[in-house]
């Protein structure tokens, strides 16, 4: 389905909850949170709500999931890792760099094609074939890039469009390529489209064209703030928080991965 949009703006306000603080009798501490680029805007607002509710602070670091994963393997001092996939958190658990009991799917991403020009009503395949430059995230670093590559292959257009591709290091940079005009079309996260005013059109990409973009979160083994990290993960998976995440353009998610980890 093609949706032509002249302007979309999502204004989300977070109300401080009246429930008691998770750590009401503990001196304020700082949680170091590593977050995949596609989740920047939701994370910023969720962190603000968490800080107001608990009195603690959260320091955010953003980047592609691949780069953050590499930093964590090199013992970067993060407490929680919110990846754009499940593979990297699971790999950290396998290497005993993260707690298996903490693994959750905090969001399920949606991939869309975004063009700055409204144009005529065209199918996904037609839009890709007519594009001059197509921005995707690096499939080796970014899960949304991997999903974009899978989409192009499964649509049987990879050979026709591969010379048109412009790769961003992260999905955030991919969005900027289209926003700045360095690419006329891009395969981006739906959450990025909803987060800012924009002109042009979006074309929905069926989930059947790529693997599900389950975004996994995990507490890291070298965290010096384990209890605070647990409080944040409980906050993240709370039903009211999950409802807010869905308003940013994410699909419904299970509470835990569907495997035998637990």
Q: Are strands 213-219 and 185-189 parallel, antiparallel or unpaired?
A: unpaired
- What lies within 8 Å, CB to CB, of 12 at 6+ separation is 45, 244, 247, 248
In angstroms, the CA 104 to CA 126 distance is 37
Decide if 164 contacts 112 (C-beta within 8 A).
no
Of 79, 90, 65, nearest to 30 by C-alpha is: 79
In angstroms, the CA 130 to CA 88 distance is 35
In angstroms, the CA 143 to CA 41 distance is 18
Q: In the chain, where does DSSP find H-type helix? A: 40-54, 65-73, 87-94, 124-130, 143-154, 158-161, 171-180, 190-195, 226-237, 239-247
DSSP assigned state of 114: E
Task: Check the annotation: does 171 bind a ligand.
Answer: yes
Task: Check the annotation: does 99 bind a ligand.
Answer: no
DSSP assigned state of 24: T
In angstroms, the CA 10 to CA 127 distance is 26
Q: At what angle do helices 87-94 and 65-73 cross, to 10 degrees?
A: 10
Q: Which two tokens stand for residue 50?
A: 């968490």
Q: Which residues are annotated as a binding site for molybdate?
A: 65, 171
Q: Which residues are annotated as a binding site?
A: 65, 171
């Amino acid at each position: 389905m093609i949706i032509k949009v002249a302007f979309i703006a999502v204004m989300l306000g977070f109300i401080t909850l009246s429930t008691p603080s998770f750590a009401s009798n503990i001196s304020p501490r700082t949680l170091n949170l590593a977050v995949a680029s596609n989740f920047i805007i939701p994370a910023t607002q969720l962190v603000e709500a968490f800080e107001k509710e608990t009195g603690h602070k959260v320091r955010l670091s953003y980047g592609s999931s691949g780069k953050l994963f590499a930093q964590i393997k090199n013992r970067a001092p993060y407490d929680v890792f919110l990846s754009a996939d499940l593979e990297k958190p699971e790999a950290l658990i396998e290497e005993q760099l993260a707690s298996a009991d903490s693994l959750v799917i905090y969001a399920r991403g949606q991939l869309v094609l975004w063009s700055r020009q409204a144009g005529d009503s065209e199918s996904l395949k037609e839009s890709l074939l007519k594009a001059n430059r197509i921005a995707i995230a690096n499939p080796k670093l970014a899960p949304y890039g991997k999903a974009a590559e899978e989409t192009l292959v499964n649509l049987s257009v990879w050979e026709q469009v591969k010379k048109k591709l412009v790769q961003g290091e992260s999905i955030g940079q991919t969005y900027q390529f289209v926003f700045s005009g360095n690419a006329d079309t891009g395969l981006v996260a739906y959450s990025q489209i909803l987060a800012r005013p924009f002109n042009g059109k979006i074309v929905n990409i069926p989930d059947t064209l790529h693997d599900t973009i389950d975004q996994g979160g995990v507490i890291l083994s070298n965290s010096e703030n384990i209890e605070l990290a647990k409080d944040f993960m409980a906050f993240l998976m709370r039903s009211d928080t999950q409802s807010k995440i869905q308003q940013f353009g994410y699909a419904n998610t299970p509470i835990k991965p569907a495997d035998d980890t637990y």
